[in-house]
């Protein structure tokens, strides 16, 4: 099927590349000439596994770039709208880009089209998109509006798209549902997975994935409710971690006991410094705003957000507890992205913590495998960015682990200890075992576990001698 994807941001670029890999000819439309020029030159704007491979494979073939929305709509069977929906000052989703695209589509409808919400939008958006298109003189039977929410995790978005837990199609007419079933047929009939060059399946992938057909309103709610529930699990386990620290329990043991319950599951039961990124904070505020507009005060979401903010403050208190005073202290920081596997620093708890520590007079030396260029734009020159974890640790009063990159969980601990001025590690992601860290000579703080100290602390002078 001929498809158009409007918006070359995170969702649009991944969706366009993946639809092309399914075998559909795709036109990726954006009115930003700088973005289009960079893509044509082979510059990938986001750090995402398998995405460069798909763009090399399909750009200029199954995947073409355009700034002409009307021409693309005229050629296409389905148009996926993947433009931004940033939060307003009061938390609602700003749908002005969606409205602008709807107006642009309306004048280009020349036969039956399916307009598909791919952006995360509040309930009733499909109704409004339909109203906007009708107001601009499109015939009522010439189009349908559907909701097809994405459930992509940054860092694994391509695999998440092609090997999803489920495909949700929110369609209010049988004709619309048939079109979207055909779009996803290479996945639901298994033909894509038999291709020799298919993207490798992640462990535990369900092949073929189930396709769930709902009303458009239900699909819109599924996306917001899913993200809210996952954020709630993160805040819940962080609250449990706080209790564990108070009573001397081990949160990882508690999580294992909770997560093996089939009614609960272990995913997202990972204590840390809180959630961030482009989805959870924005979607929770938007979902809360929708609930209030409908007359329901969703206080549970307020508490989820409060716990998330408090988790960063608890980590700051942990740093103060480990170092006593902060002004003038040199801190090594590992991780600036909001999670491992991505260069996205939007609402990153790591960035927020670095900024808070700077305000307290700390000197920050940081390393991240992918996010340093983006972090530089936000943090400026006051934070020293270095090329390796060991450079970040060199001469530091303590080392802070703020992002769960795999390489941070496999450091040479003997080398790391010798690099540090004092062998103190404050781990916001629980990447190491406290007993092992103590045996290696570290004073080790983590989340929801008792602090560990070595039986015979290595003197600072010995550590300094090791560095020389």
pLDDT in tens, 317-340: 999 999 999 999 999 999 999 999
Between the alpha carbon of residue 189 and those of residues 3, 24, 40, 200, 203, the distances in Å are 19, 15, 33, 17, 20
Report, as an integer, the average pLDDT of 61-83.
97
Q: Specify the CATH number of the domain 3-212.
A: 3.40.50.720
Class of domain 311-467: alpha beta
Q: Is the pLDDT of residue 138 over 90?
A: no
Report, as an integer, the average pLDDT of 173-198.
97
Predicted local distance difference test score (pLDDT) of residue 93 = 85
Q: Is the pLDDT of residue 466 over 70?
A: no
Q: How is residue 98 written in tokens?
A: 């969606």
Report, as an integer, the average pLDDT of 361-374.
97
Q: Say yes or no: domain 223-307 is CATH 3.50.50.60.
A: no
Q: Is the pLDDT of residue 457 over 80?
A: no
pLDDT band per the 50, 70, 90 thresholds, residue 135? very high
| Catalytic member of 255, 279, 294, 362 | 279
Report, as an integer, the average pLDDT of 362-379.
96
Q: Reply yes or no on whether 176 is catalytic.
A: no
Contacts of 247 (CB under 8 A, 6+ apart): none
Q: How is residue 202 written in tokens?
A: 């992640």
Collapse the DSSP code of 400 into the 3-class scheme (helix H, G, I; strand E, B; otherwise coil) and give the result.
strand
Predicted local distance difference test score (pLDDT) of residue 458 = 56
Half-sphere exposure of 447 (CA within 13 A, CB side): 28
Between the alpha carbon of residue 101 and those of residues 73, 79, 395, the distances in Å are 11, 10, 53
> In terms of Cα–Cα distance, which of 129, 182, 171, 125 is closest to 148?
171
For CATH 1.10.1040.10, the residue range(s) in the chain are: 223-307
For CATH 3.40.50.720, the residue range(s) in the chain are: 3-212, 311-467
């Amino acid at each position: 099927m001929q498809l158009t994807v409007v918006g070359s941001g995170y969702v649009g670029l991944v969706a366009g590349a993946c639809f092309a890999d399914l075998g559909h000819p795709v036109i990726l439309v954006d009115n930003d000439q700088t973005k289009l020029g960079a893509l044509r030159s082979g510059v990938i704007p986001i750090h995402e596994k398998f995405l460069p491979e798909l763009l090399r494979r399909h750009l200029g073939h199954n995947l073409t770039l355009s700034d002409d929305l009307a021409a693309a709509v005229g050629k296409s069977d389905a148009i996926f709208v993947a433009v931004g929906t940033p939060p307003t000052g009061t938390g609602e989703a700003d749908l002005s880009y969606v409205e602008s695209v709807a107006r642009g589509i309306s004048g280009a409808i020349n036969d039956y089209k399916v307009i598909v919400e791919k952006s995360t939008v509040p309930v009733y958006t499909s109704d409004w998109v339909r109203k906007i298109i009708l107001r601009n003189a499109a015939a009522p039977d010439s189009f349908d509006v559907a909701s097809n929410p994405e459930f992509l995790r940054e860092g694994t978005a391509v695999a998440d798209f092609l090997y999803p837990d489920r495909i949700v199609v929110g369609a209010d007419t049988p004709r619309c549902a048939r079109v979207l079933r055909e779009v996803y047929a290479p996945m639901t009939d298994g033909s894509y997975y038999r291709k020799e060059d298919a993207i490798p399946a992640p462990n535990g992938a369900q092949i073929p994935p189930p396709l769930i057909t709902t009303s458009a309103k239900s699909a819109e709610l599924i996306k917001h409710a899913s993200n809210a529930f996952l954020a709630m699990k993160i805040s819940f386990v962080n609250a449990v971690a706080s209790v564990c620290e108070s009573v001397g329990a081990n949160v990882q043991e508690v999580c294992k006991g909770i997560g093996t319950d089939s009614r609960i599951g272990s995913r997202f039961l990972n204590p840390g410094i809180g959630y961030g990124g482009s989805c959870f904070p924005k979607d929770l505020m938007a979902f809360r705003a929708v609930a209030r507009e409908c007359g329901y005060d969703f206080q549970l979401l307020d508490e989820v957000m409060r716990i998330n903010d408090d988790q960063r403050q608890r980590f700051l208190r942990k740093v103060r507890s480990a170092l006593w005073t902060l002004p003038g202290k040199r801190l090594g920081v590992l991780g600036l992205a909001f999670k491992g596997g991505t260069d996205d620093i939007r609402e990153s708890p790591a960035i927020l913590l670095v900024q808070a520590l700077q305000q307290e007079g700390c000197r920050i030396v940081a390393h991240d495998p992918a996010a340093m260029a983006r972090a530089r734009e936000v943090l400026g020159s006051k934070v020293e960015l270095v090329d390796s974890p060991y450079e970040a640790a060199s001469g530091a009063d303590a080392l802070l682990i703020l992002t769960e990159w795999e390489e941070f969980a496999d450091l040479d601990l003997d080398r790391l200890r010798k690099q540090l001025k004092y062998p103190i590690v404050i781990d916001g992601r629980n990447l190491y075992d406290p007993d092992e860290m103590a045996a290696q000579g570290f004073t080790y703080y983590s989340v929801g576990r008792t602090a560990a100290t070595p039986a015979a602390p290595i003197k600072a002078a010995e550590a300094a001698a090791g560095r020389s």
